[in-house]
Amino acid sequence: MFALAFAALASPWFVQNLTIPWDAKAHFYPQFVFMAQSFARGDSPAWNPFIFAGHPQIADPQSLIFSPPHLVVALFNGAPSMMVADAIVFAMLFAAGLAIILYARDRNWHPAGALVAALAFSFGGSAAWRLQHIGQILSLSWFVIAFFLLARARERGAWSWGMAAGVAAGFMLAGRDQVAYLGAWLLFAYAAIGLAGRGWRTLILPMLVAGATALLVAALPVALSLSLAGLSNRSVIDLLGAERGSLHPASLFTFIVGNIFGVTGPLAEFWGPPSPAWGPTDLFLARNMGALYMGLLPIAGILLLAYRRLLFAPEARFFTGALIVLLIYALGRYTPLFTLIHSFIPGVNLFRRPADATFLIGFCIAMLGGYGAHRMLIDGWRWSRDGVAVFGSLLLLIGAAAALAIAKDQLPKATPALIVALASLGFVATSFALMPLVRRRPMIVSALFTFVLAADLSLTNAPNESTALPRSLYAMLEPDSQVPTLRFLKERLDDPSEPNRRDRVEMIALGFDWPNAAMIHRIDTTLGYNPVRLGLYAQATGAQDHAALADQKGRAPLLPSYRSPLADLLGLRYIVTSSSLAALDPRAREADFPVIARIDGHTIYSNPRALPRVMVVPQAQSADQNGLLLSGQWGGGFDPTRIVLLAPDDAKRIDRGSEGQARIVRYENGRIVIAAESPRGGVLVLNDVYHPWWRATIDGTPVTIMRANGLFRAVALPSGKHEVQFEFSPLRGLGRDLLKKIFG
């Protein structure tokens, strides 16, 4: 029954040419394809040369490199389609739903209760409304699987179940997002409660095995990301920044009236917090982050538990306690406790949206709703007592939602959602009325509850602008895309007369889905879409999270304009935009950046001053590299083809050399081979972003990589002809970082 209902609810994404949109395609899908293409070429996905002039992909929490299903598919499919990417997401939710059913079965729940919990979890709450946040969906699914396995370890006292739970928890932690962080606390609390019982002697081994296994599985990705955090643009989130991601209390009404604020309609019709129609909130949340609907049937089950004082019954108390704590956390600034949580609980300041707790709130609601349905079926149902309490409460809550709409002068917009809520309430009431007739026939009552809940969820949580859009909107992300702009760029960049330039492109103001297309089409770009960027690069260039709009073109002292030495050093050859050059950069003149093409509303400007990726520079001068970023002052007479700015200790070790030649022999993601020669030596400058995990050799002998011109890599080049190799070694670099921290 679960498989059939799941297939029916998921079918629109596979039979109606729909796909999970927004971040799922603009951010996560390019990461997935980049990894698959890298494996197909025999290349490493650890370093990504195509966005932000180079990015340590292996340390990025959202790279999917440590997501087992994505990794396995990428190893065997060099160009995964959007449908394959979506199928992985739904497969993980299905697996988590099965884990809930097995958890309920271990406790002899009525099968209808298990089905209510599994369906409400899989297609309700943030799991449904925020489906596009792929990383968090993966972490949530692994959490549920780990929870089931840990419960078995608690009950059976077997270290094998503890190890299985640890593996699942490790995969969850490898997600390195706030859902994984909060899930780890819940798993820890669940294990601690088990150890606090009378049978702790039999549980100590499986719990220790579970913890040790989880740490072993997650140690590498977590260590990599913590190291990246120290080098990134956002090592911590301050209290004010976190509070702006709080869940508004009014959003709790969406548990009862799913679309009361118009989340599924046009953005202009949305009137909930935060929106102009609602009024000032100082929140920074997308509208779907406050959508929590999970169906009225599980809510009715929870109200029944509350009415019968069973919310703290032995089988429910963990979920009730977790729900209370998670609600306090999600509401953030709207409770007095979040300041203390942010200040004193380690790790909270790594994340920017307390509202992400709604993913785990959905799990708790699903479990309590399923347990409530189970108790109703085994304890019996009396309309004269239970019906008045449960459905009277639901009617009052729907009425309160209507009163809110009236108070905000939005009743006409809210009326369709209120009508749908009343219809859903009628369906649930009808199923409860029929329940006494079929109570002793588990298959029939299970089918009845499954049908009612699936119909309710398909009505309110149907595919919408936040969760499903036509695949045709993402033509620029197809691995074999024939979008004219991309085709033109690739032809220009693959010019056989200039095989060694590796020019870069800036794609700006083309729309939400364009910035990371470079990963799929192997175009080196200066920007991209990622909330986590190397701090050095962000400071040098002003690069922001996104480049969808013209006003997201960042500026910095070292890069105040396209007409600057840094733009030339980056090898910025083409600027592609649907805006104008003047809107992007008022200082730039079109005479300096001639238009070479106008294609499908996109204008392509050329920068004839762009420098090659590799150069032999004869002279080094001393400069404070961090001071250069802050001041933007290159010094008088700076010519990057003849002078390289190095840290004082590096510059004094460089003898004056001579001009030379350098050409790229091989350029892979994590390995670059350069043939260089100079009569008297000099400095070989590689205009790729500096990162401490890169190593270099000259003719096989290790040499030091110096930070050059504030941002780039350089090595001292002896006289004569040489082969210079740069290799990205994250594991060796991470080990070196750890040793430095331990031994100073």
- pLDDT for position 380: 87
Q: Tell me what pLDDT residue 217 has.
A: 97
Q: What is the pLDDT of residue 735?
A: 85
Is residue 205 scored above 80 in pLDDT?
A: yes
Count of all residues that appear for the chain in the document: 744
Domain positions in the chain: 82-460, 474-606, 614-743
Q: What percent of the chain lies above the pLDDT cut of 70? A: 98
Asked whether 291 and 129 are in contact (CB, 8 A), the reply is yes
Burial 518-550, CB ≥16 within 10 A → b, else e: bbbbebbbbbbbbebbbbbbbbbbebbbbbbbb
Confidence of residue 543 (pLDDT cuts 50, 70, 90): very high
Instruction: Output helix, strand, coil percentages for the chain, rounded to the nearest 5.
Output: 55, 15, 35
Averaged pLDDT for residues 369-385: 92
Q: Is the pLDDT of residue 744 over 70?
A: no
Q: What is the pTM of this model?
A: 0.95
Mean per-residue pLDDT for 350-376? 96
What's the pLDDT score for residue 325? Answer: 98
Give the whole-angstrom CA distance, residue 246 versus residue 332: 5
Is 235 within 8 Å of 742 (Cβ atoms)? no
If one compares 197 and 548, the residue with the highest pLDDT of the two is 548
**pLDDT for res 274:** 93
- 737 pLDDT more than 90: no
> Is residue 233 over pLDDT 90?
no
pLDDT at 436 over 80: no
Output Rg (C-alpha) for the chain, integer angstroms: 28
Q: Between 390 and 737, name the one with better pLDDT.
A: 390
pLDDT at 80: 97
Q: What's the rounded Cα separation, in Å, for the pair 96 and 146?
A: 9
Over the stretch 79-101, which tens digit does the pLDDT of each residue have? 999 999 999 999 999 999 999 99
- Strands 694-698 and 701-703: what pairing? antiparallel
- In this prediction, residue 499 carries a pLDDT of 58
What integer is the mean pLDDT of 394-414?
97
The mean of the pLDDT values for the chain is 94
pLDDT at 184: 98
Cα 193 from chain centre: 31
| CB-CB neighbours of 344 under 10 Å | 8
Using alpha carbons, list the distances in angstroms from residue 193 to 151, 185, 204, 322, 589: 11, 12, 12, 12, 67
DSSP label at 600? T
In this predicted structure, what is the pLDDT of residue 186? 98
Strands 619-622 and 643-646 turn out to be parallel
Query: 76-90, 189-203, 399-413, 457-471: which has the minimum mean pLDDT?
Result: 189-203
% of the chain surpassing 90 pLDDT: 89
pLDDT band at 235 (very low <50, low <70, confident <90, very high): low
pLDDT at 497: 67
Bridge partners of 605?
Answer: 575, 595
Which band of pLDDT confidence, cut at 50, 70 and 90, is reported for residue 37? Answer: very high
